């Protein structure tokens, strides 16, 4: 098994890797504070010669990438003739397609074990001589490091504490991640959608209908009736739900004779065998095999309802206007 896959699928290795990653970022952040001086304060109207913009969100979580999508459109509205590039990851890049971006720079997860790739990427970004660097997430240390090291003439991000971090600082406090995006773009003076954006092609929509018909035909002679409820079994670490809950939900769907399709997250393979076994006797449910992310999004977009923990598909559903029941676990702390 590949080392990165082993880390992602082992709870204790993942915790250790995250601890080491945060420690390393803390040292880098401390060094940058001393090396790079704070930028002079600016307003959006005082910026001069904005021809090249870099939007920075190198995060591997699908939800975080989707949350950033309205930022792209807001900057395109404010700077219609500027070149807008985006620093993303190879995992999340497919979800950003069809947005008004001129060029994508991609960070691979393998760069964690090959730091020289990060150095090469930083050199490539510096060579572009961006006029404005936009740090989408105020809590992203890696994004902040990139923002400060690529040498852009101006920078923009959310206010954090009493120290100035960016040329233009937006309100940093918000009650929801979607509101944080609206706050970030408010200095632009243009409208910004407070939910993710995802644009599917006609071919992707057609492929989704074909896939759903295949799944529905397992339990119905009428393949034209493609209504279904989507159940996503997955989530991030402590947001996951146990196997027993999902089996109970499947039993409830069967009892109510409701058609449903189960989707497994990439790190939930340990649930595959028991869920497959339960669905062998199902009259209304199907298990969808793993799909490329945009194909999965197109299939999800046809659902009447999505049942999911806090996860990437939850944000996909928000982008596609699919009604969602989001499952939240309450932790009792002493």
Pick the CATH number of 36-188 from 3.40.50.2000, 3.40.50.1100, 3.90.1150.10, 3.30.200.20: 3.40.50.2000
Rounded mean pLDDT, 131-160: 87
Rounded CA-CA distance 138/170 in Å is 10
- In this structure, which topology does domain 202-327 adopt according to CATH? Rossmann fold (3.40.50)
pLDDT of residue 186: 94
Per-residue pLDDT averaged across 44-55, rounded? 96
- Residue 104, classed as helix, strand or coil, is strand
Whole-angstrom distance, CA of residue 219 vs CA of residue 282? 8
Determine the pLDDT at residue 154.
96
**Cα gap 16→4, rounded to integer Å:** 13
Weakest-pLDDT range from 8-22, 58-72, 188-202, 253-267: 8-22
Over the chain, what is the mean pLDDT? 87
Q: What is the CA radius of gyration of the chain?
A: 22
- Taking 60 as the threshold, does the pLDDT of residue 7 lie above it? no
Tell which wins on pLDDT, 143 or 325: 325
- Alpha-carbon torsion (65, 71, 81, 145), positive or negative: negative
Q: Is the pLDDT of residue 315 over 50?
A: yes
Q: How much is the average pLDDT of 285-313?
A: 96
Q: What average pLDDT does this structure show over 135-146?
A: 81
pLDDT category, 231, cuts 50, 70, 90? very high
Give the chain's end-to-end CA distance (angstroms, integer). 39
The percent of residues in the chain predicted with pLDDT above 90, rounded, is 62
Rounded CA separation 186/196 (Å): 16
Residue 117 pLDDT grade (very low, low, confident, very high; cuts 50, 70, 90): confident
Model's pTM, two decimal places? 0.85
- In 188-317, DSSP assigns E strands to 229-233, 260-264, 285-287, 305-309
Distance CA 92, CA 312 (A): 10
Mean pLDDT confidence for 262-291: 93
State the SS3 of 73-85. HHHHHHCCCCEEE
- Is a pLDDT exceeding 80 seen at residue 138? no
Residue 38 confidence (pLDDT) above 70: yes
């Amino acid at each position: 098994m590949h080392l990165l896959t082993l880390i992602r699928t082992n709870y204790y290795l993942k915790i250790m890797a995250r601890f080491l990653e945060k420690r390393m970022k803390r040292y880098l952040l401390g060094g940058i504070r001393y090396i790079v001086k704070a930028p002079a304060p600016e307003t959006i109207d005082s910026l001069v010669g904005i021809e090249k913009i870099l939007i920075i969100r190198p995060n591997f979580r699908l939800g975080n990438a989707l949350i950033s999508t309205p930022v792209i459109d807001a900057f395109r509205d404010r700077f219609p003739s500027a070149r807008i590039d985006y620093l993303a990851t190879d995992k999340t890049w497919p979800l950003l397609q069809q947005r008004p971006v001129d060029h994508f720079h991609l960070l691979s997860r393998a760069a964690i074990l090959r730091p020289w790739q990060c150095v090469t990427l930083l050199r490539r970004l510096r060579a572009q001589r961006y006029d404005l660097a936009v740090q989408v997430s105020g809590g992203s240390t890696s994004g902040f490091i990139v923002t400060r090291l690529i040498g852009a003439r101006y920078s923009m991000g959310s206010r954090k504490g009493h120290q100035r971090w960016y040329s233009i600082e937006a309100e940093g406090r918000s009650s929801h991640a979607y509101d944080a995006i609206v706050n970030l773009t408010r200095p632009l003076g243009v409208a910004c959608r407070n939910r993710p954006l995802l644009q599917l092609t006609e071919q992707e929509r057609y492929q989704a209908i074909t896939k759903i018909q295949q799944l529905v035909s397992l339990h119905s002679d009428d393949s034209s009736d493609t209504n279904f409820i989507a159940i996503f079994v997955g989530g991030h670490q402590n947001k996951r739900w146990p196997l027993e809950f999902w089996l109970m939900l499947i039993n409830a769907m069967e009892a109510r004779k409701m058609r449903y399709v189960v989707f497994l997250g990439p790190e939930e393979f340990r649930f595959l065998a028991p869920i497959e076994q339960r669905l062998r006797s199902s009259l209304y449910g199907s298990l969808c095999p793993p799909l490329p992310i945009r194909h999965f999004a197109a299939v999800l977009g046809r659902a009447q309802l999505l049942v999911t923990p806090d996860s990437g598909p939850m944000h996909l559903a928000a982008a596609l206007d699919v009604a969602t029941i989001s499952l939240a676990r309450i932790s009792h702390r002493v």
